[in-house]
Structure 1
Amino acid sequence: MTDVTTTTALSELAAGTYVIDPSHSEVGFVARHAMVTKVRGYFREIDGAITIGDDIAASSAKATMKVDSVDTGAADRDGHLKSADFFDAENHPEITFVSTGVSNVSGNEFDLTGDLTILGVTKPVTLKGEFDGTAQDPFGNVRAGFTASTVVEREDWGLTWNAALETGGVLVSKKITLNLEISAIKQG
């Protein structure tokens, strides 16, 4: 096992490719339900990599989420999300994100802009990100941690299903918060 120094500053993060560890990462979303509560969901099957450049601004990321892995803790709701009313898993089995730029790097915080594709519709999004540090795990892997979030309008991707409430408002909010907690393993 090599001796690896824990890194806590983004400016000190070693250049290279870091592969997302799906068993220690989370890609989730939060939607307001019935105008009064929040429902959280996750994509349990994710794949991707982060490439750190010699200059942080030259870094990139890509990720794929399997729609069939959506999990909100309620089987009926998960089935509805997989249906043609929402993600249409049969015809659009994956959601993808491919970065197009890193900007506003300040300390451990940064903006990650990229193309998010849902239902075959690609739109730009900007994630507010933060580098959480690195550590060597007991198996000798160097892990880097990142968190990121953004708010999107789901209808921009054709996710328009909804139901009106008798008391006013709708069943599912138009604004959705996307949250990422990523653990990635350095390659080579």
Structure 2
Amino acid sequence: MMRRPAVLLLLLLLLGLGPAVPAAAQAPVLWTVDPAHSRLGFLFEQSGSRYEGRFARWTAEIAFDPGDLAHSTVAVVINLASADTGSDQRDELLRSASLFDVADYPEGRFLADEIAATGADRYEARGQLTLRDVTRDVVLPFSLTIADGRASASGRLGIRRLDYGVGQGQWHDTGMVGDAVTIVFELVATRAE
């Protein structure tokens, strides 16, 4: 048989008059990338001319809620061997030990667990980019709109390839291939059910 104070406490809790009980934190909304309408690429300079490449294979795990940025995260894994610049010879060189070295470092990664709003539909993802087993802190600015359960985002991140060891031997010289590289993306995703 319950004692009277225990019965009273139970009644107060049931009526919502008892001590506050913290609600479980809700996980941010999960998003599924639409690969047919999304693109991850890079801009670079070779012999004084600008070129564009893209990665044909990559995945992204996105948990994002504009109302809960503190728990929003992004994780992108890039298959570096899938780099396509429109030239078989250049793509083979990218995969070689002198540049991406896909035999030893097949993946690039971007992981962000700090996202902040910077304006209307504007955000920054603070995280780490890893290439050739070198990890550096980066800040990725991006724009994002969400309507009817569909998100569209785009952004660009400037890096220096030599900071990540992408350029060994003769390719350490920036006279042929520039040091500055811009990573660009356009992403379309839908709310995961």
TM range, smaller chain: 0.7 to 0.9
Q: TM-score, normalised by structure 1?
A: 0.80
Cα offset, 1:102, TM superposition: 1.0
> In structure 2, how many angstroms separate the alpha carbons of the residues matched to 1:68 and 1:185?
27
2:183 corresponding residue in structure 1:
178
Match of 2:64 among 52, 58, 63: 52
Gaps of 5+ in 2: 1-27
> In structure 1, how many angstroms separate the alpha carbons of the residues matched to 2:73 and 2:189?
13
2:158 corresponding residue in structure 1:
151
Cα offset, 1:185, TM superposition: 2.2
Instruction: Using the TM superposition, name which of 20-29 and 150-159 deviates more.
Output: 20-29
Task: Give the secondary-structure state (helix, strand or coil) at the position aligned to 2:99.
Answer: coil
Task: Work out whether residues 114 and 126 of structure 1, in 8 Å CA contact, stay in contact via their aligned partners in 2.
Answer: yes
**Residues 163 and 155 (structure 1), Cα distance of their counterparts in 2 relative to 1, 3 Å cut:** closer
Q: How does 1:1-188 map to 2 (within 5 A)?
A: 15-34=28-47, 36-53=48-65, 54-135=67-148, 142-161=149-168, 162=171, 170-188=175-193
> In structure 1, how many angstroms separate the alpha carbons of the residues matched to 2:49 and 2:83?
19
Which structure shows the bigger proportion of residues in strand conformation?
Answer: 1
Could you list the structure 1 runs, at least 4 aligned residues long, displaced by more than 4 angstroms after superposition.
Answer: none
Task: Give the secondary-structure state (helix, strand or coil) at the position aligned to 2:93.
Answer: helix
> In structure 2, how many angstroms separate the alpha carbons of the residues matched to 1:38 and 1:57?
38
Q: TM-score, normalised by structure 2?
A: 0.78
Question: Cα deviations across residues 146-178 of structure 1 (Å, max 9, x unaligned)?
Answer: 0011111111111124276xxxx6011111111
> In structure 1, how many angstroms separate the alpha carbons of the residues matched to 2:70 and 2:184?
22
> In structure 1, how many angstroms separate the alpha carbons of the residues matched to 2:92 and 2:178?
19
> In structure 2, how many angstroms separate the alpha carbons of the residues matched to 1:147 and 1:70?
19
Gaps of 5+ in 1: 1-14, 136-141
User: What percent of counterpart residues are identical?
Assistant: 26
Aligned residues: 163
Cα offset, 1:104, TM superposition: 4.1
Q: Which has the larger radius of gyration?
A: 2
> In structure 2, how many angstroms separate the alpha carbons of the residues matched to 1:143 and 1:49?
15
Cα offset, 1:124, TM superposition: 1.1
Task: Give the secondary-structure state (helix, strand or coil) at the position aligned to 2:178.
Answer: strand
Task: Work out whether residues 72 and 113 of structure 2, in 8 Å CA contact, stay in contact via their aligned partners in 1.
Answer: no
Which structure shows the bigger proportion of residues in helix conformation?
Answer: 2
